[in-house]
Amino acid sequence: MAALIPGKAVGDSDGNVLFPLQPAFNVTQSGHQTNIASGANITFDTEVFDQNADFASNTFTAPVTGRYQLNLAIRLGQIDSAASYVFVQIETSNRAYQAIFDPSQFNGDLTYFYMSINAVADMDANDTADVHFYQSGGTTQADTDSGGTNFSGCLLA
């Protein structure tokens, strides 16, 4: 393989074009996060990969200005049906991307509920992105399920 130059494509011996220094991450949880308070940061303590080392302390920091594909898949459990709404959001320095629902529409507390967010976010160098949970009303009892929760992203352009 040729020498790595930041921002440059590298070709391998089979003619494949690689971008080995392109920012990309995929993180998950090693265990459940329980009784999450409204406004709390969702924690991610296990890196599946962190190409370019831009993810730390539950936060992605954009190394360069560009458009980033950000993805959240979160499985919540033990959601109180007395809450008037529950939402999760990817919060960047520029804006927030959210998914929301009303658990009071169900006949009882939800054992599991899956939510996802996919966004193309405009981020400047040193802007950050992390994930937060919000709940209005009801008991603080929602949990994440570590087997169904991950946060990922990559630089598109």
**pLDDT tens by residue, 6-55:** 556 666 777 666 666 789 999 999 999 999 999 999 999 999 999 999 99
CATH class of 29-155: mainly beta
Nearest to residue 88, comparing CAs of 157, 31, 24, 148? 148
The pairing of strands 55-56 and 59-61 is antiparallel
Q: What is 65-101 written as a DSSP string? A: SEEEEEEEEEEEEEE-TT-SEEEEEEEESS-EEEEEE
Task: Check pLDDT > 70 for residue 80.
Answer: yes
Predicted local confidence at residue 81, as pLDDT = 96
Q: What is the pLDDT of residues 98-131, one digit of tens each?
A: 999 999 999 999 999 999 999 999 999 999 999 9
